[in-house]
Structure 1
């Protein structure tokens, strides 16, 4: 069996809520991610998907749990010791414009990580590398000296992706990277993620709402509800044989591109109680785990 690139065990995060009451945003999350694998993390808003991604990247510290990356325990590392690890773990955020610096040319924005980590030597080599990155993500290198406001949403996300791959990471956490884009552009960006994964051997933790895109892109899918993973399985196993009622409800809500079938279908609903979320993940078929009391 392949040694996991990323291993998360019993990860939890508690925030202080209104009135001083603790809010458990992520609770007991465990999963492995193999090299070159794409794991989709899906669920409704507030389910803890994005928080899990931020904890993995150490943008926030977990309350409890362990995070092992590339064989090294990183959840206890001090910030200074994290710096070489950060070179191998990058992020693509949901809002491509907010992620850019409006006062910095996009070429400078893409080159910044290379300069910080001393990947290139000198201005000429850096500009050549940025030009290559622009071509790789489908942008004209002549755009390097422009500013973020001069680009469309899809182009801005391509720029963010170029920055993420600029220092040759092993893992990219993509935090709903297509949600803020026009529908016509979303498929292009997902295809770009797929192409880069094949070309560069990347692993992705892909946080998303769009189950159709997740089915197209991901090798496995983990379904989150109220901070817990309720089902995790190979993609086709999950979509063809969903076991948890929440997963079944999510899949039943996927639009069908056939007006007659769309009108006739019946979406399922699921309202869990705390008892339903207090069980353990159990293997129901090879690689397919379901939360059971």
Structure 2
């Protein structure tokens, strides 16, 4: 029996109006996400990689229903959520959470961090009173490696890595099934990035969550993700098991992207050669083709 995917996205497309006439009618549009389809199984991590402007973050926002799709469908636990609004989305919000790129701007500077982490618990009725909420927040702080005594501090009193741990604590407060992590380590020092990645792995093992992990850092994606999808100009051009894609990239852009990743070895880095990639738009109607079990490449 085939397991139902936790998340299934079919033909997801998002257009943005870039120019209007005097009457407010759209005269020019930008297609940020173009016919994107993928699945995430329970407890799985799918890495979404590509250059800036490739549509990664927009895809994440569409999955979270923070933005509306122009076309396509989104299914979560077998239920279509594409057109849900307001109260219809409330039960989904508990199971579908986000960790943002900038840990400082994602926190209210006027709220104590304990209040920020505990707010979802109150909004969704998980705790009955302030005492229960405080106990729950203290446990969340311990879970992400922070001292509960820091709960009454404000965001500016923490380092970047500590603030991201607070953001993660808030994201896991409701025990979600899926977290969209939108470049969660980009704003952090290199020495802290590995700690946050290991925290994601520990929480996944403890809580069984799935991740849609959006990133630039191919090394971290290779370490963290079970599968990887490579995006270019709003389209997925290659997708498959992480080891397979890195060992045998099939699309020219994937090969160029991997060749551009620095190697933490001075001798090998001197020998590294970047592979050029000339952007050629795919033919009209081009679709992903399976070149090996689970390994898909956009047909040229």
TM-score range, shorter chain: over 0.9
Shift of 1:228: 0.2
1:135 equivalent among 135, 142, 151: 142
Task: Give me the whole-angstrom Cα distance separating, in 2, the residues matched to 1:265 and 1:152.
Answer: 35
For 1:284 and 1:273, how far apart are their aligned partners in 2?
20
Instruction: Extract unaligned runs of 5+ from structure 2.
Output: 21-26
Q: Normalising by structure 2, what TM-score? A: 0.96
Secondary structure in 2 aligned to 1:3? coil
Report how far residue 277 of structure 1 moved.
7.5
1:25 and 1:48 in contact (8 A); partners too: yes
Aligned partner of 1:269 among 265, 276, 300 = 276
Match status 1:172 vs 2:173 = no
Q: Which moved more, 1:224-233 or 1:274-283?
A: 274-283
SS at match of 2:53: coil
Deviations 1:115-139 (A, max 9, x none): 0000011111111110000000000
- 1:198-234 alpha-carbon deviations (Å, 9 max, x no partner): 1000000000000000000000000000000000000
- Which 5+ residue runs of structure 1 have no aligned equivalent? none
- Residues 35-84 of structure 1: per-residue CA shift (max 9 Å, x gap): 00000000000000000000000000000000000111000112220111
What residue in structure 2 maps to residue 195 of structure 1?
202
CA contact (8 A) 1:14 1:24 kept: yes
Residue number among 201, 218, 231 corresponding to 2:238 in the alignment = 231
Indicate yes or no: 2:216 matched with 1:205: no
Which digits, 9 at most, give the CA deviation of each residue in 1:24-43, with x for residues without a partner?
Answer: 00000000000000000000
Distance across 2 between alignment mates of 1:49 and 1:161: 20
* Residues 1:282 and 2:283 aligned together: no
Q: Is the 8 Å Cα contact of residues 95 and 175 (structure 2) preserved in structure 1?
A: yes
- 1:6 is aligned to 7
1:73-152 matches, within 5 Å, as 73-152=80-159
1:96 partner SS? coil
Cα distance in 2 for partners of 1:194, 1:12 equals 31
SS of the aligned residue for 2:282 comes to helix
Contact preservation (8 Å) 2:282, 2:299: no
- In terms of mean alpha carbon deviation, does 267-276 or 205-214 score higher? 267-276
Contact residue 228 and residue 277 of structure 1 kept, 8 A: no
Query: Residue 274 of structure 1 aligns to a residue in which SS?
Result: coil
Task: Report the counterpart of residue 23 of structure 2 in structure 1.
Answer: none
**Matched pairs, number:** 293
